[in-house]
A and B are shown apart, each in its own frame.
Chain A
Amino acid sequence: MVTETFVGQLPALEMTISAGVHLFTDRWLEHCEKWWDATPQKLRFTSGGDTPTTVEAAYYLNRNGRIWKPASSPGPYLSVTLDAPAEIAPAAREAQWLEVGQALAVDMRDRGLAGSISLPPTITDMRPWQQAGFRIEVLYTYCVDLPYDETLMRPQVRRVIRKAEKSGFTCSRSRNMQEVYDCLAETQERQGFDLGVSAEDLVSAQRALGADKLRGYVAYSPEGEAVSATLEVHAPGRAAVGWLAGTKWEYLRTGVAQLLNRYVLEDLAAAGATSYDLAGANLPSVAYSKSQWGATVKPFYRIEGDGAVDVARHARKYWRFQRARS
């Protein structure tokens, strides 16, 4: 028997977002409504059994009540956290998972998706969603245990870090979202994509989540200019997740981005993160650069949107695929 508990809307209760980070501020609700016109809602499903399995999902619902992941919400995943008892037999554990997983998948189907939704790498069994009729796509990310084992790093990375140190670059946490944004914006322009985030978004998000959970990091040139920045989502005792990163053009070859990344790994480990998700490895150039840290490739799964637009995307992809071959 599955019991469905509506844990309710914020701010009354704790909410989980991407990466399973716990957030429970009034401000987060305000932020969601103000920036995305979205209502966050948390659901929990509990299986039967003496030691039950629970699964919790934190949705963002759009005006039509469909589940949504705003592009500018922190981290790449919709939050789904699974709590399964370790002490029961694998087959019983799996049966409990299927019970709650199916309840969640059917709930998602009934509400509908406003676009595709990625689940965190901890959710590995997508059969409940397949059986509910969703199409699933596999994507990849790199994850590394913390504290970071520096022997995993490729010698090239070590060399450029040493070079950046010798040149006098320094790193620190930063609450100044404008200087963070300036670094991100240059990368955005250079690579011709839209982060979908403004400096004001970042200020509001950090105020809502708190600077310990949404952590900004900046590397400075010897002259004190902010030249490289990252934003990370963190909660002690859990996996931290990379969200956004950028480096100003003229500092690309200085090794400062790698220096900053190592600083981030050290700082997150000191703050109690158990592992770090480098967030995405699905573009060849990005994958090659992230693979240099010696992290493990992990699959995560994207539930494809159910709209006609998704069918159209599939058709378009087909034509491109055929044309490229001919």
Chain B
Amino acid sequence: MTDQPSLAPDTEPVHPLARLREYSSRRWDHILRRVRFSDNGAELPYVEVDYFLDRSGKIGKPAINPGPYMRVLFEPTPTRSRSRRDRQWLALGGRLARDMWQRGLAKSLELPPQITDMRPWHWVGFRTEVLYTYCSDLPYDNKLMMSQIRRSIRKATEQGFTCARAQSLDEVVACLRDTEQRKHFDQHMSLNDLNVLQSALGEDTFRAYICYSSDGEPASASVDLLQPDGRAISWLAGTASAFVGTGAAQLLRYYVLQDLADASATSYDWGGANIPSVAAAKAQWGGTLSAFYRLEGDGLIDIARHVRRFFHFRRAMA
């Protein structure tokens, strides 16, 4: 085994790393580095990761991260032996975890739901937190949908709402802004950011969708990422204030699921189920609850968070 990670060539066709890398250092001040861990350069098994390194070389996460997770990919040898696969993961995951430990984390990082075994990180001393998301198989099975969703979709269709891939990201941003203002948060996403990310990731991966009212006004928008492995992830979504409660958001989601399935996506990740009200809305689509894990940053700020949680908890008990 070599301990020096090798840099993978930037030749992946649907993930034009070079453009994203350039944008990452210019806009976010983070260097994007793809690192692959394997045994003496063997083709399989391998673990591959995309780091965003900050100025001090720590692993960070730009404010505008394309997608909710740090990209980690594990490819075992084609074996049917669970035991062998398990050992391959523990060995290569262990090297990844040690590498991350040596570099240090500038922030907490979320790993994708397919990385289910966190022992390599535990064994080098990281703490982890469990979070949840919903995942649906694609093509979407309509039988899983609750009747409220079905009613909303019917209502929006009857009122003449229509959906399409977005031609103009202006309209998408307008919908996102309305939701941000209504719910008092800021995704720090400018029109320029979206334009550059669209061109960096390519339109097969970066998929913006919009739902129009019968008058042609943008009513609801969504940006979803389709990864080369067939997994699609919900990333950004927003609905114009005038069209809340019209069913436009549900109609658009249904369109997104169909469009992604047509583009050969095999699963759809609903992008988190950790806020009760949001989770309840997403649960209506009947996705499977899946755990994903967050590696806790190792800074003092994380200790402070733990202490704060302790006091909140005590107060809640009292």
**B90 engages A306 (CB within 8 Å):** no
- CB contact between A137 and one of B86, B127, B303 (< 8 Å): that residue: B127
Which residue of B is nearest A97, CB measured?
Answer: B289
Q: Which of A293-320 contact B (CB under 8 A)?
A: 293-297, 299, 301, 306, 308, 310-311, 314-315, 317-318, 320
**A287 engages B130 (CB within 8 Å):** no
Please, which residues of chain A bring their CB within 8 A of the CB of B116? 297, 299
Which residue of A is nearest B307, CB measured?
Answer: A311
Q: What sequence of 0s and 1s flags, for each residue 292-317 of chain B, a beta carbon within 8 Å of any chain A beta carbon?
A: 01000010101100110110111011
**B82 engages A152 (CB within 8 Å):** yes
**B81 engages A294 (CB within 8 Å):** yes
Number of interface residues of B (CB under 8 A): 50
**A311 engages B306 (CB within 8 Å):** yes
Binds B, one of A42-50, A77-85, A123-131, A250-258: A123-131
Given A138-B130, A325-B102, A133:B83 Cβ within 8 A: no
Q: How many A-B residue pairs have CB under 8 A?
A: 118
Please, which residues of chain A bring their CB within 8 A of the CB of B102? 325
A223 within 8 A of B: no
**B291 engages A314 (CB within 8 Å):** no
CA distance A131 to B277 in the complex (A): 12
Please, which residues of chain B bring their CB within 8 A of the CB of A127? 132, 273-274, 276, 279
A282 within 8 A of B: yes
Q: Which 10 A-B pairs have the closest CB atoms?
A: A133-B313, A321-B125, A91-B283, A294-B83, A90-B286, A291-B86, A294-B82, A91-B146, A314-B306, A311-B310
A136 within 8 A of B: yes
**A109 engages B298 (CB within 8 Å):** no
**B82 engages A91 (CB within 8 Å):** no
B144 within 8 A of A: yes
**B86 engages A297 (CB within 8 Å):** yes
**16 sampled A-B residue pairs with Cβ under 8 A:** A89-B146, A90-B288, A125-B132, A127-B273, A131-B276, A133-B313, A135-B129, A138-B118, A138-B291, A138-B293, A154-B83, A287-B119, A292-B83, A311-B306, A311-B307, A322-B298
**B130 engages A301 (CB within 8 Å):** yes
**B119 engages A140 (CB within 8 Å):** yes
CA distance A295 to B87 in the complex (A): 12
Please, which residues of chain B bring their CB within 8 A of the CB of A92? 146
B262 within 8 A of A: no
Q: What sequence of 0s and 1s flags, for each residue 127-169 of chain A, a beta carbon within 8 Å of any chain B beta carbon?
A: 1001111111110100000000000101000000000000000
